[in-house]
Amino acid sequence: MDIPASLRYARTHEWTSELEADVMTVGITDFAQDQLGDVVYVELPEEGARVAAGDAVAVVESVKTASDIYAPVAGTVKAVNADLESAPEAINEEPYGGGWLFRIAPDDASDREALLDADAYRAVCEEES
Amino acid sequence: MRYTPHTAEDVRAALDAIGVDDVQALFADVPADLLDPPLDLPAPADEATLLRHVRDLAARTDARSPSFLGGGVRAHFTPSVTKHLAMQSEFVTAYTPYQAEVAQGVLQTTFEFQTMMSELTGLPVSNASMYDGASAVAEAALLALRATKRRRVVVSRGVHPQAREVLATYLAPLDVTVDVVDLDGDHATPVPADLSDAAAWIVQSPNHLGTVEPFPPHVRAAHEAGALAVAVADPLSLAVLQSPGDAGADVAVGDGQTLGVPPQFGGPHFGYMVVTERLLRQLPGRLVGETRDVDGRRGYVLTLQAREQHIRRGKAKSNICSNHQLAAGMATINLAALGPAGLRDLAEGSVRNAHALADRLRQEGYDVATGNRPFFAEFPVRVPRDPREVRRDLHAAGVRAGVPVPDEYGLGSAILLAATESTSDADVDALVAALARVAPAAEVPA
């Protein structure tokens, strides 16, 4: 189970990258993609959408279930990964790379600090396994 | 598996567990007069008496006199094999296949159904059927609202009035505007000037007055406004008219009764819904796919189920969790028995006979209100009295005809008349004679 130390995590299994030019990238974790199984479809938020922390903003559908993806912080959606439309399996193959979901400009950059670090998130996964 | 209902002890234990005195207490919220209303029934009868009674009732059903009833429901010819195969117990008794993959026969029937509806409508993805044409129209509107994230639906008055009522019922709890576009003087739908912010533009052909509506200009207008083009079509007409898919429509819906389901006093029929590839995941209801098992053998499965209630619960694409398997299966068998050429024969025969009937009524002096536009198998005729009375009196005169044209169409007193491939000269003579007595052309106000 891959849990990169550089990322921050939500209890609901989203990861967030460090801020680059006031924008962070969001995806789902290796643990989450493994739990879902083969991802076959992704519904992404609209660019420009204003979201609150905890809002359901995307859906990742696998062969066995459909899962809501929650915004880890409040902010504005700046970009979405359009490649997933034709290749949703990237989420299984590279959850921390080509499988990213969207980019968000947080209203308050310090919100990211409230998320879990890698060790805390690992504990969450172990609880759920 | 043995079915053992709960004993009095079980019931007592359950009541004690939740702290309730008796079962009645569980229904305390239901008004008493609704709970156990007295039934106005005659005294009990033994089996022989009851059978006689039911036979007497059945004998009062008039299925012999010629029928010109329409309103989108017509009794077309079905080869004898259709009914016999459709009434096989494997079809009739199969309830929802909860372990669907075990029921390969049911799934294959549905797969064939989807294939045929896809061919007829010219669109790639069909579901396993809907309840009826009206609920299919409403589900198409919901699909469009989901897909476009807009809050306005525009519908032609040419869409069956009952379908529009069901549409209004489905949309009532939602914050959605429904706008109705009136027909023009030729009983056709004008291309609406304003489709801005519309999720869907819904047009029916042949429309409720029988007029054939060309879909392409409506599709163009919808797409220019960013709306989905929803084509409502009598599937039998698609044997001879341009298909919704060829016209560029996004969604085709309608009632499938004309494909070989008996009229059955107005139901049950089945609805169909077929969509573009792009809308695949927005499609409500069941979807059967063909696949291969580990040994490479062909098999059928329910696919893309993540859209559905049993997996997605509150976020399901629709509340529909079933389909009209028996009626849709009957249509599938019927289509297989008729074949494409046979279906075209029925459609062409219906057009021919409907036009011959219209010409004959014109000769008899009737105002046949076809609006100078092409029509398919039905058309309106003006009558001198309340159309409901005309219908009653025609029936008394031995002809089943006279679906009233609703006031909203502004035709005054008028009835819809429908013909099929099976309408005979004798049928037409009987209708003309009955009309002459019941609703003479000379009395129709100019």
pLDDT given for residue A106 in this prediction = 96
pLDDT given for residue B94 in this prediction = 65
Residue B213 phi, psi dihedral angles, 5° rounding: -105, 120
pLDDT given for residue B233 in this prediction = 98
Looking at this protein, which amino acid is placed at residue B322? S
Whether B247 has a pLDDT exceeding 90, the answer reads: yes
pLDDT given for residue B6 in this prediction = 87
CA distance B27 to B312: 30
Name the residue of chain B whose CA is nearest to A66's CA: B306
Looking at B126-234, list the stretches that DSSP marks H as alpha helix, in order from N- to C-terminal side: 133-148, 161-171, 216-224
A40, A63, A66 member nearest B312 (Cβ): A66
Q: Which residue has the tokens 């013909």?
A: B419
Q: How far is CA B33 from CA B24, B38, B39, B41, in A?
A: 13, 9, 12, 17
List, in order, residues 6 or more apart from B369 with CB less than 8 Å away: B187, B209, B379, B380, B381, B382, B411, B414
Give me the mean pLDDT over the B162-167 stretch: 98
Whether B1 has a pLDDT exceeding 90, the answer reads: no
| Average pLDDT over chain B, rounded to an integer | 94
Residue B414: helix, strand or coil by DSSP?
Answer: strand
| Average pLDDT over chain A, rounded to an integer | 94
CA atoms within 13 A on the CB side of B323: 30
Q: Hey, which bits of B84-197 come out as E strands?
A: 125-126, 152-156, 177-181
Name the residue of chain B whose CA is nearest to A60's CA: B306
All residues of chain B having their beta carbon less than 8 Å from the beta carbon of residue A67 are none
pLDDT given for residue B254 in this prediction = 98
pLDDT given for residue B64 in this prediction = 84
User: Which tens digit of pLDDT belongs to each residue from B183-207?
Assistant: 999 999 999 989 999 999 999 999 9
Q: Which two tokens stand for residue B188?
A: 């056709």
DSSP state of B157: T
**How distant is the Cα of B312 from the closest Cα of chain A, in angstroms?**
6
Of residues B419 and B6, more confidently modeled: B419
State the count of interchain CB pairs (< 8 A) between A and B: 19
**Interface contact B281, partner A, CB < 8 A:** yes
Whether A125 has a pLDDT exceeding 60, the answer reads: yes
Sequential DSSP letters for chain A = ----TT-EE-TTSEEEPPPBTTBEEEEE-HHHHHHH-SEEEEE-PPTT-EE-TT-EEEEEEESS-EEEEE-SSSEEEEEE-GGGGT-TTHHHH-TTTTT--EEEEESSGGGGGGSB-HHHHHHHHHHH-
Of A63, A69, A86, which to mutate for an interface test with B (greatest number of B Cβ within 10 Å)? Answer: A63
Q: Are strands B198-205 and B228-233 parallel, antiparallel or unpaired?
A: parallel
Query: Which of B185, B231, B245 lies closest to B209, judged by CA?
Result: B185
CB atoms A66 and B281 under 8 Å: no
Name the residue of chain B whose CA is nearest to A67's CA: B312
CB atoms B315 and A59 under 8 Å: yes
CA distance B403 to B385: 13
**How distant is the Cα of B316 from the closest Cα of chain A, in angstroms?**
10
pLDDT given for residue B33 in this prediction = 85
User: Is the sign of the CA dihedral A95, A98, A99, A103 positive or negative?
Assistant: positive
Whether A28 has a pLDDT exceeding 60, the answer reads: yes
Confidence of residue B2 (pLDDT cuts 50, 70, 90): low
Residue B440 phi, psi dihedral angles, 5° rounding: -60, 140
Give me the mean pLDDT over the A39-48 stretch: 93
pLDDT given for residue A129 in this prediction = 82
Q: Which two tokens stand for residue B49?
A: 């008496």
Residue B185 phi, psi dihedral angles, 5° rounding: -65, -20
Of B280, B303, B315, B317, which to mutate for an interface test with A (greatest number of A Cβ within 10 Å)? Answer: B315
User: Which tens digit of pLDDT belongs to each residue from B316-351?
Assistant: 778 787 889 999 999 999 999 999 999 999 999 999
Name the residue of chain B whose CA is nearest to A62's CA: B306
All residues of chain B having their beta carbon less than 8 Å from the beta carbon of residue A61 are 281, 306
Q: pLDDT exceeding 70 applies to what percent of chain A?
A: 100
CA distance B166 to B149: 21
User: Which tens digit of pLDDT belongs to each residue from B84-126?
Assistant: 999 998 888 866 667 778 889 999 999 999 999 999 999 999 9
Length of chain B: 446
Name the residue of chain B whose CA is nearest to A65's CA: B306
**How distant is the Cα of A20 from the closest Cα of chain B, in angstroms?**
31
pLDDT given for residue B212 in this prediction = 97
Whether B8 has a pLDDT exceeding 60, the answer reads: yes
Give me the mean pLDDT over the B36-53 stretch: 93
Among the ranges given (A18-22, B176-180, B422-426), the one the predictor scored with the smallest mean pLDDT: A18-22
CB atoms B311 and A59 under 8 Å: no
Give me the mean pLDDT over the B52-79 stretch: 93
pLDDT given for residue B3 in this prediction = 65
A41, A46, A62 member nearest B281 (Cβ): A41
Give me the mean pLDDT over the B65-81 stretch: 95
pLDDT given for residue B95 in this prediction = 67
Q: Are strands B228-233 and A66-70 parallel, antiparallel or unpaired?
A: unpaired
Q: Which two tokens stand for residue B161?
A: 């009035």
Among the ranges given (B22-26, B352-356, B391-395, B402-406), the one the predictor scored with the smallest mean pLDDT: B22-26
CA distance B245 to B231: 9
Length of chain A: 129
Among the ranges given (B273-282, B292-301, B316-325, B371-380), the one the predictor scored with the smallest mean pLDDT: B316-325
CA distance B336 to B20: 57
Give me the mean pLDDT over the B412-417 stretch: 96
CB atoms B306 and A62 under 8 Å: yes
User: Which tens digit of pLDDT belongs to each residue from A62-114?
Assistant: 887 889 999 999 999 999 999 999 999 999 999 999 999 999 999 998 999 89
**How distant is the Cα of B172 from the closest Cα of chain A, in angstroms?**
25
Whether B176 has a pLDDT exceeding 60, the answer reads: yes
Q: pLDDT exceeding 90 applies to what percent of chain B?
A: 82
